[in-house]
Amino acid sequence: MSTAQRTPVFSCEDLHVYVDEKEIVKGVSLEIYSGEKHALMGPNGSGKSTLAAALMGHPAYRVEGNILLGGEPIGDLPANERARRGMFLGFQYPVAVPGVSVASFLRAALSARRGKDVPVREFRALMDDAFKVLNMPRSFMARYLNDGFSGGEKKRLEILQMMILKPLFALLDETDSGLDIDALKVVSEGINRAAGSETGVLLVTHYQRILNYIAPDAVHVFMDGRVVRSGGPELALELEERGYDWLEPEAARAAGGAR
C-alpha cells in the first residue's frame, strides 16, 4: 500500500516551540509511516533536542501547531499519556532512578502501555530476548535504573526499553552520543530489531556514523529551528563530507521566507 493510502504513524504540522517568548522551533512539518526510519541532522544549538522534548510533551515549552500519533491529535496530552498511547523518547542523557530496579520499572511501563498486568513468564521471556540482542547480562534486571551505569550501558538500556514496549513511534535524541564503535553497533542492531515494520523512528543525531548501521528512509537537515533540506541517505553522506556551512544560504532563505 502506498503512503498516499495510509495514515502516518506520526506527523506534525507547522510546529512552533517557544521557551518563554523566544521561538526555538520555527514551523516544522514531518510525516513518518510505520516501518520508516527518518534521521534529523543538524549542528549544535539548532533546536533538535528542543523539538524532541516538545514533541514528547515537556511542560517547559509552549507549542503551537498540530501533533498526531496514529492519526489522533496528542498535542494537549501530558507526556505520560503520550507514552501510554505508544510514543517513546530515548533521552540524550538518561537519568538515574535509585531505588527502582530495571525489572520493576520495565514491567510497570509495559503494563501501563498495554493497559493490563503482564504475566511474569511472558515478561521474563521478553527480557531474556532483549538482553541477548543488546549483549547485556541478566544481572542488570536487579540493578537500580541507570544508577552507576556507564554512558553506553544507559543507551543500551534505552533501546532495551524500546524493544520491550514496542511503541508506535520512537523519538531517539542523540542515542549515538558518547558511544564507542562496539557499543554503537550493538545499539544500532537493537534499534533495527525494535523498529521492525510496525514502528516509525525519528533519529536525532549530529553525525552520519550511526546511519552506517541504521539505513534511513529519509534525512532531514535542521538549522535555526527549521528543516532546510530533506533527502535520502546520500544527503547524510554529503553532510559528513561537507559539514553544515554549505546549507547556511538555504537556512537564511527559509528564515526570510517565514517572515
Residue 156 has pLDDT above 60, yes or no: yes
Which whole number is the average pLDDT over 148-161? 87
> Is residue 206 assigned to a domain?
yes
**Residue 209 domain-assigned (yes or no):** yes
**What is residue 6's DSSP assignment?**
S
Residue, of 68 and 195, whose pLDDT is higher: 68
pLDDT at 201 over 90: yes
Three-point CA angle 50, 82, 11, nearest 5°: 65
pLDDT at 255 over 90: no
Q: Which phi and psi angles does 177 have, rounded to 5°?
A: -65, 125
Q: What is the pLDDT of residues 102-119, one digit of tens each?
A: 999 999 999 999 999 999
pLDDT at 48: 92
Q: Please give the Cα distance from 37 to 42 (Å, whole number).
A: 17
Sheet holding 10-19, edge to edge: 22-32, 10-19, 62-69, 72-73
- More confident position, 220 or 156: 220
- The residue-averaged pLDDT of 171-193 equals 87
Beta-carbon count within 10 A of 126 CB: 19
- The answer, as to whether pTM is greater than 0.85, is yes
**Residue 130 included in any domain:** no
| pLDDT reported for residue 5 | 57
- Among 91, 89, 87, 93, residue whose Cα is nearest residue 75: 87
pLDDT, tens digit, for every residue of 157-170? Answer: 888 899 899 999 99
Cell of 23: 521561538
The whole-number average pLDDT for the span 41-60 is 91
Q: What is the pLDDT of residues 237-246, one digit of tens each?
A: 999 889 888 8
The 8-class DSSP code of residue 137 comes to -
Q: Does 101 map to a domain? A: no
| Structural domain includes residue 139 | no
C-alpha 209/C-alpha 176 separation (Å) is: 9
Average pLDDT of span 67-92: 93
Q: At 171, is the pLDDT very low, low, confident or very high (cuts 50, 70, 90)?
A: very high
Q: What is the DSSP letter of 232?
A: -
| pLDDT of 258 | 62
- How high is the pLDDT of residue 179? 85
pLDDT tens string 1-41: 455 558 899 999 999 999 988 999 999 999 999 999 999 99
Which residues form the domain of 251?
3-91+168-258
* Residue 72 falls inside a structural domain: yes
**Quick one: pLDDT at residue 250?**
80
Residue 154 lies in a domain: no
- Give pLDDT, residue 213: 93
**190 pLDDT higher than 90:** no
- Show the cell assigned to 225: 529551528
pLDDT at residue 227 in the model: 95
Q: What is the CATH number of the domain that holds 79?
A: 3.40.50.300
163 assigned to some structural domain: no
| Percent of the chain whose predicted confidence (pLDDT) is above 70 | 97
Which of 18, 22, 24 lies closest to 46, judged by CA? 24
DSSP H or E run through 136: none
What pLDDT sits at residue 259?
Answer: 52
Domain count, the chain: 1
With vertex at residue 227, the alpha carbon angle to CA 252 and CA 82, rounded to the nearest 5 degrees, is 145
Q: Record the cell numbers describing residue 178, joined without a space.
A: 558518547
